[in-house]
Amino acid sequence: MAADLTSLDTIQSQNPVRAVITRFPFLVYAILTLLLGWIPWYAGGQPSHLFFVPLLTALIMAPLVGGREGLLNFLRRMVRVRAPWYTWLVALLLPGAIALVAIAVHVLLGGQLVFASTFDTRLLTINAVLIGLVAIGFIIATRGELGNTSSRGRGG
């Protein structure tokens, strides 16, 4: 209990903003994410930037909560993924494969093939990046356990 009082005294001796950030990091993260994401959109910006906001907020919050070591730890955990090479190959090729299947189904159902010169290629690029990020996020979330055949990955 003495350690809790000491840490509480330390928090209270800090400036008020840091005290709130240290005491309620998730709440501050959620509020900051909403502010950074939606205020520019309400001001007339494009909503296409919204999927970068949680990462940006995490990069802001990590050093505020854990100092320089907290930021370095966060960055290390972002790139340290133990997944087999073929899992990464699937993640990188999946967006193109999904796009090709979607085009094939569209054409097979009687739709016309639309070429890149007739639509906004930025939209296609954003969608491909989003699909790729979801696939890589899935690998990171499972930490490569899908391809892991050792007993360590199965709780054994």
pLDDT tens over the chain, length 156 residues: 444 545 555 555 668 888 888 888 889 888 998 888 888 777 776 666 667 788 888 889 989 888 899 889 888 887 777 778 788 788 778 878 888 888 888 888 888 777 655 566 666 677 777 777 776 766 666 665 555 555 554 444
Q: Is the dihedral of CA 39, 41, 47, 48 positive or negative?
A: negative
- The phi-psi region of residue 14 (left if phi > 0; otherwise alpha if psi is between -120 and 50; otherwise beta) is beta
- pLDDT of the residue at 115: 66
If we measure between CA atoms, which residue out of 27, 24, 22 comes closest to residue 11?
22
If we measure between CA atoms, which residue out of 97, 106, 101, 104 comes closest to residue 128?
97
Which residues are CB-neighbours of 154 under 8 A, at least 6 positions away? Answer: 148
